[in-house]
Amino acid sequence: MRILSLAGRRLAASLPSLLIILIGVFLLLQLAPGDTVDALLAQMGGGGDAATTAELRRFYGLDVSVPVQLGNYLWRLVRLDLGFSAIYGKPVSTVILERLPATLLLMSASLSFAFFFGLLFGVIAARRVNGWQDSVISTLGLLFYATPSFWFGLMAIVLFSVHLQWLPAGGMESIGEGFTGFTRVMDIASHFVLPTLTLGLIFLAIYLRIMRASMLEVLTLDFVRTARAKGLDETRIITRHVLRNAMLPMVTLIGLQAGTMLGGSVVVESVFSLPGLGRLAYEAVVQRDLNTLLGIVFISALLVIAVNFLVDLLYARLDPRIAREGS
C-alpha cells in the first residue's frame, strides 16, 4: 500500500508537466500556417465561399479567441474528448485507438528484447571483464548505439526479406490470407520480428553498457564478499545477490527512455509500414492534421507517464528500502 501511495504521489507530480506540454504544444500549433478548416478545404479541392468557411470554423470552434479555444480544448480533454479529425473523418480518439495496439505491441516487444539481451550480455561482459567476450560485446554495443535505426531496418529488409525471403518486409499481417487463431498470431509475430529488432537495437546497446557498469560496481560491494566468504558458488551469487541490485539502474532507464522509444517508433513504423501511433504522427504532420497531432502528443505523454508509474512500482519492489524511506 505504501508503495502505491508513493507511486501515486509521483503520478500526481507529473500532472503539471502534462499541463505544460498541452498548453505549450497547443500554443505552438497556433503558429502553424493554416488551421483544420484550411486543411479540410484543401483536401476537398480548395475553394469554399466565405460563408461556408465561417460556418466550418464555428463548427470546429475556431471562431473564438485563442485563450478561449485553449480553455475549451482542456475542458474537452478532461472529458476525454480529443476532438474531430477532419482528414480521417472520425473522432481523433477513434483514430488513435485504432493505431495504439500496433505501437504498444512494438514497444513492449522491443523493450523485452532489449532488456533481456542487454541484461544477458551485460552480465556476460562483466563476468569476463577485459576478456574477449567482453571486447566483442562492448564493441557490438558501441556499433549498435551508432547505427541509425531506420537504416538498420532497411538493410534488414534487403537481407531477410529480399534476398533470404525469410520474413515479410512490412505491414502488420498478411492481408487477404484470412488467417485465424494460431496461424494469425504466428503471422503477426513474423511481421514484428524485424521492427522489434530495429527499434530494440539502440536500447540493447544502452542497456548492456549500463548493466555491465552496474554489475562491476555491485560486484565490489561488501555483501558480495560476504556471500563469497560464505562459500556460495559464483552463479548463485550472481543470480540471487548481484543481479537484483545491479538491475536498478536499468529499470530507471526504462522510465527515462520511454519517450525516446515512442519517438523511435515513428521512424520504425514508417520503415515497415506498420499502422501504429508513430506512423499516424508522421501522417498527421504531412497532412497538417493538427487536431490529430495534438491528440497524439497528449496520448504519448500519458503513455510515458504510465510507463514511469509502472517503473516506480517495479523499482520499489526490487529495492524495498525505497518504499520505506518514502513514507
Where does this chain bind other proteins (CB under 8 A)?
A: 14, 16-18, 20-21, 24-25, 28-29, 31-32, 129-130, 142-143, 145-152, 154-155, 157-158, 162, 212-213, 216-217, 256, 259-264, 266-267, 270, 281-282, 285-286, 288, 293, 296-297, 300-301, 304-305
Min dist CB 151 to other proteins, Å, is: 4
CA 44 vs CA 32, 39, 122, 142, 182: distances in Å: 20, 9, 55, 50, 43
Cβ closer to other proteins: 111 or 301? 301
Cβ closer to other proteins: 52 or 273? 273
Taking the C-alpha atoms of residue 269 and residue 281, their distance in angstroms, rounded to an integer, is 10
Min dist CB 147 to other proteins, Å, is: 5
Q: Which amino acid is residue 104, in one-letter code?
A: L
Cβ closer to other proteins: 179 or 282? 282
Asked if 273 and 198 count as a contact pair (C-beta separation under 8 A), the reply is no
Cβ closer to other proteins: 21 or 232? 21
DSSP reduced 3-state for 91: strand
Give 258-262 contacts, CB < 8 A, sequence gap 24+.
Answer: 258/303, 258/304, 258/307, 258/308, 259/300, 259/304, 261/107, 261/110, 261/111, 261/199, 261/203, 262/103, 262/107, 262/300, 262/303, 262/304
Cβ closer to other proteins: 66 or 142? 142
Min dist CB 274 to other proteins, Å, is: 14
Min dist CB 93 to other proteins, Å, is: 18
Cβ closer to other proteins: 27 or 44? 27
The length of the chain is 327
Min dist CB 25 to other proteins, Å, is: 6
Instruction: Specify the residue for cell string 539502474.
Output: 249
Min dist CB 314 to other proteins, Å, is: 19
Write out the three cell numbers for 75.
Answer: 475542458
